[in-house]
Structure 1
Amino acid sequence: MNRHTAREKAFQVLFQLDINDNNPDKAVEEHLETLEIDAFLMGLVQGVTKNKTAIDDIISYHLENWTIDRIASVEKTILRIAILEINYIDDIPTNVSINEAVELANMYGDEKSGKFVNGVLSKIIA
């Protein structure tokens, strides 16, 4: 599984975990069913789960005229993954994390999601 696909699968699992309180490892197993579990995907899911409070604090600090509770689950989940990559994973260039996050937002969010995610991440890396 390439990293792009792993990010997409991690997004799907984390989105599900945001709605339903479940064990992250079990959620990955249930979501993938026939696919082999990828180490990068597991790292993203476990990293976001483990560091969720710190990541949410980073998001909250950089929001203008918003609260984290007002952010839709799609955008919140995508931001969490991108911030994990930017702040906790050294071998991924920041611009790659941002581009991947914007692409996921354009795929799964509404017409404004990509711009919103890009704007928040731009403030975080500035």
Structure 2
Amino acid sequence: MKRREAREKAVQTLFQLDRTEMSIDEAITYIIESPIDPFYERLVKGTVNHKEEIDKTLEDKLEHWSLERLPKIERTVLRLAVYELLFEDEIPHSVVLNEAVELCKRFGDEKSGRFVNGVLSKFEQK
């Protein structure tokens, strides 16, 4: 599985997990069959396991918005991207931004891509 596809599947999985009682493993097997791609699994589990820290970091970057007010797709893409920015050191900042915008184009709309890019551009580049 290529990394872009892993990110797309991760967004779908995280989207399902947002405000549901489904377990991580249930959501993963709902979206993808075995064998599970290690990068995909790391994205999903890492984002879920670090959600509190990711959300706090995001709240500090959002201006005039709260995470609760964001549309679900933007919130999901932002959480995934912030996980990558904070915990996936080998992935360049520019790649994370570009992939997040592409995910918004695929699952959201043009406005969501611009919004997500604006929020993520406030993070320091590595």
Give the TM-score of the pair, scaled to structure 2. Answer: 0.94
Partner of 2:76: 77
Residue 125 of structure 1 aligns to a residue in which SS? coil
The unaligned stretches of length 5 or more in structure 1 are none
- 1:38-87: per-residue Cα shift (whole Å, max 9, x none)? 00000001001100011011110011111111111100110011111111
Deviating above 6 A after TM superposition, structure 1's stretches of 4 or more consecutive aligned residues are none
Cα distance in 2, alignment partners of residues 47 and 57 from structure 1? 15
Identity of aligned residues (%): 47
Cα distance in 2, alignment partners of residues 11 and 36 from structure 1? 18
Residue 123 of structure 1 aligns to a residue in which SS? coil
Partner of 2:16: 16
Residue 99 of structure 2 aligns to a residue in which SS? helix
- Number of residue pairs the alignment of both structures matches: 125
Partner of 1:28: 28
CA drift at 1:21: 2.1
Give the TM-score of the pair, scaled to structure 1. Answer: 0.94
What RMSD in Å do the two structures reach over aligned CA positions?
Answer: 1.2
Amino acid of the structure 2 residue aligned with 1:57: K
Amino acid of the structure 2 residue aligned with 1:12: Q
Q: Does 1:124 align with 2:115?
A: no
